[in-house]
Structure 1
Amino acid sequence: MGLSASAGSTSIRALCLASLGLLFTAAAPTDATAQIATGAAAERSAILRIHGSNTVGAKLAPMLVAGLLEAKGFHSVRIAPAGRENEQRITAIDSQGAPVQALVAAHGTGTGFSGLKDGTADLAAASRPIKPAEAESLAALGNLRSAAAEQVIAIDGLAVIVHPGNKVGSLSVEQVARLFAGEITNWRELGGNDQPIELHARDDQSGTYDTFKELVLAGQGKVLAATARRYESNDALSQTVSSRPGAIGFVGLASVGTSKALSITDGGSQPMPPSTALVATEDYPLSRRLFLYANPTSQSQWTRDFLNFVHSPDGQAIVEKSGYVAQAISPITLPVQTSMPEAYQRLAGEAQRLTVNFRFEEGSAQLDNKAQRDITRLIDYLNAHDKRMNSAVLVGFGDAGNDAARTALLSKLRAMAVRRELAKGGILVKDINGLGGELPVASNSAAGRVKNRRVEVWLY
């Protein structure tokens, strides 16, 4: 349902129940937002249109839109249904008394890329990276994998949820895959009560489902059981799971609600809950990035303003308020464990780890699009905390390949790549180290190896 509120009396947080797909339109000055064009007329007069992921749209996007409008001096922000499920209209008044509106259409990641292709959207919201076939189909627009097109706006944890009274506290990725494939049918097989298992899953249009399929099902050679009940909305799925003792489902981190989120293990990792710190570092096995994709060669001023706001400190503060994990940097203290390499034990005993990791493709020391922005964030953080000289330590890791020496070398080369970029910003690090395939945070699957190829940042 829609939420209506005046910007003068309602905080941005009050807008978080709105869903996505954004469509800003301008109209002639009037004293009533009800006179704003609707339907096809609104589409024709659009100056910014965003379609796609329900994960991005249910809470995060409306809050970011509200923040942008407030930053531009708009007032009387209101949200109302737009005539279809998961579509809403956001309206506001500018300083001259002229109304603008945003139409919300959050029908799944795939619909965003379709909108970019047919010209009905200026931005595609996605809860997974663009697929090779999608990028190829949009090649006429330019390189959709370039930094100009691909914008990581937040980090999300894909939470596996059960009824609050379920005794099971953690599962391995393999067990989750077998559950959703229908191979485990009673909770007693996992140490729970004698209770039949009910499966609840997102629909095929959902980026949440695409991520689950890639990180859980495909990696174990499984497919979703035909008995699973499917949902277009994360929140609707979570509400159902929280009310049914035998239920299990998966949702974005912001939609856990009153359900119970399980800890997850992958390969040799310890059980990891979808906590803010573990999701921020992307170490949590089912963490994922949330994206906006733009036309890399042609962007309106509204598009540029919106993307700049999303990446700003104010925009990332809204990400945090929305229930997702912001890309802001903060320190965390890790307990020393005897299973850690000796050098890592010393580091954990003397320094704090920062909630930023740099990750790399196989055999590469090239920073990806998120890492390039994170370098700037890290430089700003170190400058703000007077840690420019000899305070930061970079620790590189690799995936467990057949050639341990090559893995160790690549892990150090990746740390050196981060050091080189920091030096361009006037930062002199204290030390670098490469620990090769030590301390994996994921299995040795394709997706797991990407998580294991990382550079951590520690601060004295």
Structure 2
Amino acid sequence: MLANESILKSIIYDDIQYCKVILLLNQGEAQSQSLVHARTIGAITTPVDQHKLLQVIANQVKKSGFTGLINDIELVDYIQVLAMNKATKAFAVETEAGRGVLVIHQGKPIFAVYEKLRGEAAFQAILSLPKGKLVDKTIKKLPPPNINKALTQLLLECSTWRDEHQHADHATVEEHEIFLEELIPEAVPHSTSRARMPAQPWRSALGFGVAALVTLVLLIGAGWKLLAPPRHAGEAANATPAVMKADAARMVPLAASTAPAAPTEKSPAGPTSSDIQLNQIQTVTSLEQPLDIILRLHGSNTIGSKLAPNLATSYLKNILQASNIRIIQKEAPVEKIVVGDTATGTVGIEIHAHGSSTSFKDLLQGACDVGMSSRKIKDKEVAEMRALGDMAGPASEHILGLDGIAVIVNKGNPLRTLTIEQTSAIFSGKITDWAQVSDGRMQGPISIYARDDNSGTYDTFKGIILHDASLAAGAQRYESSPELADNVANDRQAIGFIGLPYIRQAKALTISDQGTMPIFPNFFTVATEDYPLARRLYLYTPQQGAKPQVSDFVDFALGATGQQVVNETGFIDLAVRTFVAGIDPQELEVQDKGVFQRYIATTQDKKRLSLNFRFRPNSTELDNRALRDLDRIVDFLRSQPVEHILLIGFADNQGDYHYNTTLALDRSKTVRDELRSRGIPVSEMLSASEEIPVASNQTSHGREMNRRVEIWVRLKQA
């Protein structure tokens, strides 16, 4: 071991200049004084006690905060860790271009300043900085808030902001000079030989956001090992809880590393995923007490990767009052069991996330209780599963939340938007060079990254984008969403598609359809399903023969606490919110200017709600999501100072324009009658006929999106 100490010291203490070191020793092993250094912050013994490890790190951070280089730290990941832990922190940034401050209070960004920029613009500027110094400090006093947007929306808008803004303004931040001087210590050199550290799924385990700065040096037996965490989340169970392996030790934090804070000031009361502390991680064979599997959730990797484990954990804790909640990681990376101890014994919820198609196969074979799918069940599957009841009916099909499929490229790609047609041509191999879609701003062969055939993400993408075309030969396929996103972020020629929570360090493009405006995937465009690649996340349950826990779990997942978990895991929950919506008439093809102008005039002084009611083809019958949304909107309207409710109906373009104008108004009347029966009066109704489509009317999916009713409200002035 001594022969290797000089090598170890060279790697850790000389090459990695800004790390902190924790020595890990065998039981009874003496600490080598030659390895003790100013950057050594403690020592622990094997087997690793997670709580002792975290305590060593926590003590160091509480004592001194930390200083690091922006090019070594993923700011987005760090801010999301602060959000999950509802932390209050301030950190200052200093670059060659200037200085700034970002303040997080109880997990929400409340204040940002960067040179002349203030509020949301400064927040985006700071997150877009490619290099510089970052100093983390516990804040002494809160400045007056200047950020009003939710973290979810801010992060989703970050990629677009980077393309549209440059940091050319270097004016002094005069009114916050004292604040800056208090937070910024001596300068740290900008140049370093250390390579940029990619985002890692285990950072949330450290709870204090310092994981990116800590290197664990493991001195085991007669030799030593410097162990790095897995490069991709797919190598670490492809999921939250993420897995960090260190020989005999395993740590599995439950909170999702990508989970943003709730997108409104008021969130439903209830536990968050970060409330749960795992006591240990066990292998499948190490569970000593008998285990009763009470639920089996199989299917979508999008849901099963992080959302299902978080829901299962919250369900065990809050509904079954379980304690000692932990994860059993099975041999397959996408298979795990969430385990908890209850008054009647140890119970578990099994999660297999092999893809949406497997959910229907396993339901039919009786191998699972709840199917997870990131696409709607197909007519063929409904027919095959008729013995279980009407699987497309409201008793079996449950909309859990919403997600958007983002088309992602490398941040170095200058492209900002694609049409559906261009996207299809790229992924089917008809367009093979970036010069064909970038007006010469970028050239070279296009590298295609795609999810595998079992993925609901791929199924949805194929249905909306590819249709009958085949994926381009040579496309690289992935079972893991995070791994795909990370590879796109590391390949300047790459393009891929992914669920919104997995954009990570890639850049999302705006997407337009025939006759529609380019739309960026963010909270409200996905919540309303106006974004062309928005999709629903489903739970499917047998209509007949289901065990009692199935309905209990579904009700929990669709209720207030379950929807909060959906939100905190990074997906779009179904809670109702208001937002200011705008339309650029230059981007639209208008058939009847009178109808369009009435729409603009009527909505001018109102806010739009974050949902649309949608309908079955050629009818006024509400779809399955709308039936549950009625209760949500009633609860929202009763809790708000609403003085005017406006319903606007829309139709697709199939058939006569006059007929569709009447049909659109009739759809508004259907919603009015449902609200009226629940004690909510509607002030006004309007038909927008075939105008303002949000998707192409050339496809069945697009027409489904266009058959809708929007809800607008005017709130009483305080």
Instruction: Tell me the residue number matched to 2:327.
Output: 79
1:227 counterpart SS class: coil
1:172-251 superposed matches below 5 A: 172-191=419-438, 192-218=441-467, 222-251=469-498
**Deviations for 1:125-177, whole angstroms, at most 9, x for unmatched residues?**
00111111111111011110111100000011011111111110110000000
Rounded to whole Å, the distance in 2 between the matches of 1:82 and 1:11 is 16
Pick closer, same or farther for the CA change 1:401–1:14 going to 2, 3 Å. closer
Root-mean-square deviation (Å): 2.5
Instruction: Tell me the residue number matched to 1:447.
Output: 701
**Deviations for 1:239-276, whole angstroms, at most 9, x for unmatched residues?**
11111111111111111111111100011111101111
Q: Which has the higher contact order (CA 8 A, sep 6+)?
A: 1
Instruction: Tell me the residue number matched to 1:438.
Output: 691
Rounded to whole Å, the distance in 1 between the matches of 2:258 and 2:350 is 15
Offset of 1:104 from its aligned partner?
2.3
2:492 counterpart SS class: coil
CA contact (8 A) 1:338 1:345 kept: no
- Which entry has the higher C-alpha Rg, 1 or 2? 2
1:189-338 superposed matches below 5 A: 189-191=436-438, 192-218=441-467, 222-335=469-582, 337-338=584-585
Rounded to whole Å, the distance in 2 between the matches of 1:187 and 1:37 is 51
Rounded to whole Å, the distance in 1 between the matches of 2:664 and 2:256 is 45
Pick closer, same or farther for the CA change 1:137–1:150 going to 2, 3 Å. same
CA contact (8 A) 1:15 1:66 kept: no
Pick closer, same or farther for the CA change 1:336–1:285 going to 2, 3 Å. closer
Rounded to whole Å, the distance in 2 between the matches of 1:207 and 1:100 is 29
Offset of 1:307 from its aligned partner?
0.5
**Deviations for 1:195-253, whole angstroms, at most 9, x for unmatched residues?**
210011111111111111110011xx532112111111211111111111111111111
Instruction: Tell me the residue number matched to 1:122.
Output: 369
Letter in 2 for 1:449: R
Instruction: Tell me the residue number matched to 1:25.
Output: none
Pick closer, same or farther for the CA change 1:430–1:38 going to 2, 3 Å. farther
Letter in 1 for 2:708: R
Residue identity over aligned pairs, in percent, reads 36
CA contact (8 A) 2:299 2:371 kept: yes
CA contact (8 A) 1:334 1:348 kept: no
Could you tell me which runs of 5 or more consecutive residues in structure 2 were left unpaired when the two chains were aligned.
1-235, 244-250, 260-278, 587-592
Pick closer, same or farther for the CA change 1:103–1:298 going to 2, 3 Å. same
Q: Find out whether 1:412 has 2:679 as its counterpart.
A: no
What TM-score, normalized by structure 1, do the two folds share? 0.90
Letter in 1 for 2:665: K
What TM-score, normalized by structure 2, do the two folds share? 0.58
Letter in 1 for 2:608: R
Moved more, 99-108 or 415-424: 99-108
- Within the candidate set 610, 614, 623, 1:355 is matched to 610
Offset of 1:338 from its aligned partner?
4.8
Rounded to whole Å, the distance in 2 between the matches of 1:148 and 1:37 is 37
Letter in 2 for 1:292: L
2:535 counterpart SS class: strand
Rounded to whole Å, the distance in 1 between the matches of 2:281 and 2:533 is 42
**Deviations for 1:293-315, whole angstroms, at most 9, x for unmatched residues?**
00112222221111011111111
**Deviations for 1:316-368, whole angstroms, at most 9, x for unmatched residues?**
11111111111101001023645682222223321000001011122110011
Pick closer, same or farther for the CA change 1:373–1:37 going to 2, 3 Å. farther
1:116 counterpart SS class: helix
CA contact (8 A) 2:294 2:348 kept: no
Moved more, 191-200 or 133-142: 191-200
Instruction: Tell me the residue number matched to 1:26.
Output: none
Pick closer, same or farther for the CA change 1:447–1:344 going to 2, 3 Å. same
1:41-190 superposed matches below 5 A: 46-72=293-319, 73-94=321-342, 96=343, 98-190=345-437
- How many residue pairs were aligned? 437
CA contact (8 A) 2:281 2:328 kept: no
